[in-house]
Amino acid sequence: MKTYTPPPDKSITIRALLLAAMAGGSARIENPLLCADTEATIRCLEALGIRLCRDGNAYIVEGRGLKGFRVPGAALDAGESGALARLLPGILAGQDFPSVVTGSGSLLNRPMEPLAAALKKIGAAVKTSNGRLPLSIKPASLKGAKISGIESAQIKSALLLAGLNARGPLEIKESAPTRDHTERLLALMGAKIITAGARIKLEPGPLTARPLTVPGDISSAAPFIAAAVLAGRPLKIISCGLNPARLGFIKALQKMGAVIKIRAVEAFPEPYGEIEVSVSRLRAAVIRAPEIPAMIDEVPLLALMAARAHGTTVIGGIEGLRTKESDRIESTLALLAALRVTASYKGGSMRVIGRPAFAAAEPVETFNDHRIAMAAAAAALVCPGLEIRNPGCVNKSYPGFWKDFRKVFNPSFS
């Protein structure tokens, strides 16, 4: 059985860097991810006066407290990182200087009005550019509030970061629980935060720097899980983050008949451990909307797995995928069409008719979307001759993806 260690978690790395910058003292972040999105995070923090230095496989972040940031000399460029573009305004909303957050590529087309509307509920002075980036933020006196109906982990996180500088408690009720890395890191750094299911309560106040080791990224491991199941090759994944709010893809595969075992270590702030994938046969299943937040990054992979399952799989509640790095509904359908798989989308749900084998009908267009490229790699492992265009777009989250994929699976494609 092959063994694979995924790269560090992107979501946790970005949040750890931002929160360490807001804390008092020096924080050592072990095993951070180095990719385009985290490099953009570091550049933005340096522009705000934060000192970061590399020490072996760690970053040391010299925090400046909640309101100790320096006035940036220009707009803060989030690159193509949706997480950074949404979390950073949460920090900036409570500062005593104006600022602008912008980005590049597909991020410039992603909606920012929901973020601005949420921050305005606690008194932030935030303005979008026709609903998109750049985002202008002016100094404002933030207040506590009770906010319900939050559907995005990134918007929730922005509210929590802003809430640290508010004049009263912040209470958030999510429509359904989303990934809770921000809440866990806030608790690690001494914030007065209480979570109960989809409800969160945060008292304003300072953070204290704490050391942190970033676990492996389960979203980066997911294409390897998919490839192992598709190719019938047993695989053990080690040192992988196992946050319960990120296990949706594995649970969906188990529902479809995949034999996958999880061995978790309940560490604070994030559980981690091993995932063992065995040879499996898949059957169709119905994946409902409440299951999607726990696998929001893995829906293209799930559709790919459905394409090899016996029967017709329905994946519901995925309308939010329209505004990712690509329109992931259309790019996923294009991937399946390139494999001669019959699939359709209507009314928020995708229907995928499984077939016993893939056939390379045409090259796969990645649409500059790292998740589509990694799903295509899993498909290519069992579909000789499949061409993947712009495979380098994986650098957004996983620069070493192709090297690791070749090492684990020794595919026939180059």
Residues noted as catalytic: 297
3-state DSSP of the chain: CEEECCCECHHHHHHHHHHHHHCEEEEEEECCCCCHHHHHHHHHHHHCCCEEEECCCEEEEEEECCCCCCCCCCCEECCCCHHHHHHHHHHHCCCCCCEEEECCHHHHHCCCHHHHHHHHCCCCEEEEECCEEEEEEECCCCCCEEEEEECCHHHHHHHHHHHCCCCCCEEEEECCCCCCHHHHHHHHCCCEEEEECCEEEEECCCCECCCEECCECHHHHHHHHHHHHHHCCCEEEEEEECCHHHCHHHHHHHHCCCCEEEEEECCCCCCEEEEEECCCCCECCEECHHHHHHHCCCHHHHHHHHCCCECEEEECCCHHHHHCCCCHHHHHHHHHHHCCCCEEEECCEEEEECCCCCCCCCCEECCCCHHHHHHHHHHHHCCCCCCEECHHHHHHCCCCHHHHHHHHHCCCCC
Contact 20, 29 (CB under 8 A): yes
Contact 86, 154 (CB under 8 A): yes
Between CA 249 and CA 332 the distance in angstroms is 16
Nearest to 327 by CA among 154, 109, 84: 109
